[in-house]
Structure 1
Amino acid sequence: MSTSESGPRIVTLTSDYGADSLYTAAMKAAIIKHDPSVRIVDITHGIRPFDTNQAAFALRTTADHFPKGTVHIIAVNTNPAEDYVHKVMELGGQFYVGLDDGIFSLIADREPDALHDISVPSESDILTFPERHVFVQVACHLVQGGVPAVIGPKSNGWMDSEWQRPLQGADYLQGVILHVDSFGNLVTNIDQRLFKEVGKERPFNIPLRAARMNVTKIHRAYSEVPSGERVALFNHMGLLEIAIYHGADGSGGGASQLFGLKVGDTVRIEFDNAAQVGSLL
């Protein structure tokens, strides 16, 4: 595949560097030095330190919006160990460059098109910044239309890892919060398919901080409730999201602030065990 023929050269960055990090500037400078024509897109630098699950979630929810030929640099937990090696995954015409600590299996929803170990030498004797001294040169090679086979041999496999799946029973679902956005909206790992499968169109209750705050209805849009009111819906990813319409943390209060919930906390849906009633969706 030649990205020069198929569209713009795009390299994305996902990291746990935090805001205003000098590491981010160093990465961008290195990419520009290799190829000034590359468009650099910051997916996020707000990943929690070493949080592979959060990094994978960020890429799963954004990668499909990019064209084929895009290269994603994963600058999270990048230092190799005996069982963890640097790899390139090709998936859906895009490339992912990072440390195989299980993140590739979390990103992919199917078998990858190709998986290669990275064997190119580092551009520096300093081994503490492989995303700058290894990943950048690999990304620039790929985004210019280079083939992964030049980077290293085909990999024998990847480290397996799985999303924390919701617990389920006849009358309940129990998930976790995967992501809290800048508005304080809570994105869970409960998807619409599972909600329908377990709920069977029964009334339900999502307990929050107090009974008066509980959620008992799924909406289709934020604007279906008054400003400042709680709302639950299935977002563009098909995941259950709990929000405050026109709310934001630090400015009137988002769902995270008002309900005292954060990434990793539990969200439970309790279904009525009575006979089925009319559709709730």
Structure 2
Amino acid sequence: MPAITLSSDIGQIDFITGAIKGQLIGAVPGCIPVDISHQLSPVNHQQNAYICKNAYAHFPKGSFHLILINFFEKVPSHVLFTELNQQYIICPDNGLITMIAGGRPASVYAISTNTNGKGTLLACTHAIAQAIQHVHSGGAIQDIASIAMQIEEKYPMRSSVGPDWVDSQIIFIDNFENVVLNITKTEFEEIRRNRGFRIELMHKKDYIDTISDNYSTVPPGESMAWFNSANYLEIAINKGNVAGFFGLKDFSKDATISQNRLSYQSIRIYFY
């Protein structure tokens, strides 16, 4: 039986997430409903894509991933369905598919919510559960969906690069206030070109110039950088809170959203 993951901005207080999992179990008996997170931001797709993409990478082929973020930003007449790395992603037409995939997948389908755009979330997820059941049973998605000719496309931010520096944005701060930047190990080493480096945290006297293997390789209270399990550059303080200590934030929650872009704080890395 397939794993069916659920990611949303609904939170944990409402009954909705439990009701959706009930719908999924009813449509696909024996399936394995899995919560990824229900604390996702309705607007911070950069962070949402980071969380979802790196969770999905560890699921077996044939898994379904349902993402319910800012579901009613548009009239919910349909949701998007695509296959990616032998798994399936279902989400509103809000740019998340291209954020997660890193480009437009070869085939994207539109599944009708059968509500004429007037239904509740549970009415829409009922239609989604039926679509999952159809595909899991061996039915072709083309039988119940149409090709989505035009979809909203959004793409992850890239670090700004100079001859001897790179400005990387903070895309995620975890529960321990460790800070993740939007630069992978591969990108970092390509820019670095075997040079030394300094990650400046606040002032020139506050910097990191080595990559650690994990948190335990530095003494308690010392700042460190390492490539986390998703291979993104992460900054932390062993047994401390680097974000709170240095006043770092992942994005400006009270900033005016201009052209669907949020204001992200950057950290500069110098190479020498």
- TM-score bin (small chain): 0.7 to 0.9
Q: 2:179, 2:235 within 8 Å by CA — same for their partners in 1?
A: yes
Kindly report which structure 2 residues correspond to 1:30-45, keeping only aligned pairs within 5 A, or say none: 30-45=23-38
State the TM-score, normalized to the length of structure 2.
Answer: 0.85
Q: 1:84, 1:101 within 8 Å by CA — same for their partners in 2?
A: no
Aligned to 1:141: 134
Q: Establish whether residue 261 from structure 1 lines up as the match of residue 248 from structure 2.
A: yes
- Which of 206, 212, 224 is residue 213 of structure 1 equivalent to? 206
Aligned to 1:117: 110
The percent identity for this pair of structures is 31
What is the CA distance between 1:120 and its match in structure 2? 5.1
**Quick one: structure 1 residues 69 and 23, their matched pair in 2 at CA, closer, same or farther if it must change by over 3 Å?**
same
**Quick one: structure 1 residues 200 and 90, their matched pair in 2 at CA, closer, same or farther if it must change by over 3 Å?**
same
Runs (5+) with no aligned partner, structure 2: 252-264
What is the CA distance between 1:184 and its match in structure 2? 1.6
Aligned to 1:231: 224
Q: What is the DSSP-based 3-state SS (H/G/I as helix, E as strand, rest coil) of the residue aligned with 1:65?
A: coil
1:208-265 C-alpha deviation (Å, 9 max, x unpaired): 13444321211222221112321101223221110122x3xxxxx3222222212132
Q: 1:104, 1:158 within 8 Å by CA — same for their partners in 2?
A: no
What is the CA distance between 1:109 and its match in structure 2? 3.6
Aligned to 2:161: 168
Q: 2:185, 2:227 within 8 Å by CA — same for their partners in 1?
A: yes
Q: Establish whether residue 25 from structure 1 lines up as the match of residue 12 from structure 2.
A: no
What is the CA distance between 1:38 and its match in structure 2? 1.3
What is the CA distance between 1:110 and its match in structure 2? 5.3
Aligned equivalents of 1:37 and 1:46: distance in 2?
26
Kindly report which structure 2 residues correspond to 1:51-200, keeping only aligned pairs within 5 A, or say none: 51-79=44-72, 81=74, 85-109=78-102, 112-119=105-112, 121-122=114-115, 126-129=119-122, 131-200=124-193
Q: 1:123, 1:133 within 8 Å by CA — same for their partners in 2?
A: no
State the TM-score, normalized to the length of structure 1.
Answer: 0.82
Q: 1:219, 1:232 within 8 Å by CA — same for their partners in 2?
A: yes
Q: Establish whether residue 244 from structure 1 lines up as the match of residue 231 from structure 2.
A: no
**Quick one: structure 1 residues 193 and 159, their matched pair in 2 at CA, closer, same or farther if it must change by over 3 Å?**
same
Aligned to 1:270: 270
Number of equivalenced pairs: 259
Aligned equivalents of 2:34 and 2:72: distance in 1?
23
